[in-house]
Amino acid sequence: EVQLLESGGGLVQPGGSLRLSCAASGFTFSSYTMSWVRQAPGKGLEWVSALTGSGYSTYYADSVKGRFTISRDNSKNTLYLQMNSLRAEDTAVYYCAKDSGVEAYFQNWGQGTLVTVSS
């Protein structure tokens, strides 16, 4: 059974940094592109970033480009999101998501971790 477990969320001041983790199990982690998707309180879903299974190709939404860095450790089956220069508008639940392996739709999601950016 595929399991994705996010951690690392919390309260951080504007301009601060936070690193999210997503621990994966139940599948061959290195074979799948992984993404981060966020949802601000009461709002819709926003794709944030994606990273191919090899770790060679990264993709970012314009809203986070230059501030967030996605990475993975395939030996630890873990996906990361390093978030720097955080803003109030980054406040959201952050989900990690696994693609299907064949096409780039999100087949599995974690339960999410809440990031609150506030002074």
Partner 1 sequence: DIQMTQSPSTLSASVGDRVTITCRASQSIYSYLAWYQQKPGKAPNLLIYKASSLESGVPSRFSGSGSGTEFTLTITSLQPDDFATYYCRHYNSYSGTFGQGTKVEIK
What minimum distance in Å lies between the beta carbon of 37 and partner 1?
Answer: 8
Structure tokens that stand for 1 in this block: 């059974």
What minimum distance in Å lies between the beta carbon of 119 and partner 1?
Answer: 26
Contact positions vs partner 1 (CB under 8 A): 33, 35, 44-47, 50, 59, 61, 95, 100, 103-112
Position 12, amino acid: V
What minimum distance in Å lies between the beta carbon of 21 and partner 1?
Answer: 16
In terms of Cβ atoms closer than 10 Å to its own Cβ (0-12, 13-18, 19+), residue 82 is middle
The DSSP-derived string for 11-56 is EE-TT--EEEEEEEESS-GGGS-EEEEEE-TTS-EEEEEEE-TTS-
Question: For partner 1, which is the closer residue by CB, 62 or 119?
Answer: 62
Structure tokens that stand for 110 in this block: 């974690």
Question: For partner 1, which is the closer residue by CB, 5 or 30?
Answer: 5
Question: For partner 1, which is the closer residue by CB, 41 or 75?
Answer: 41
What minimum distance in Å lies between the beta carbon of 44 and partner 1?
Answer: 5
Question: For partner 1, which is the closer residue by CB, 13 or 45?
Answer: 45
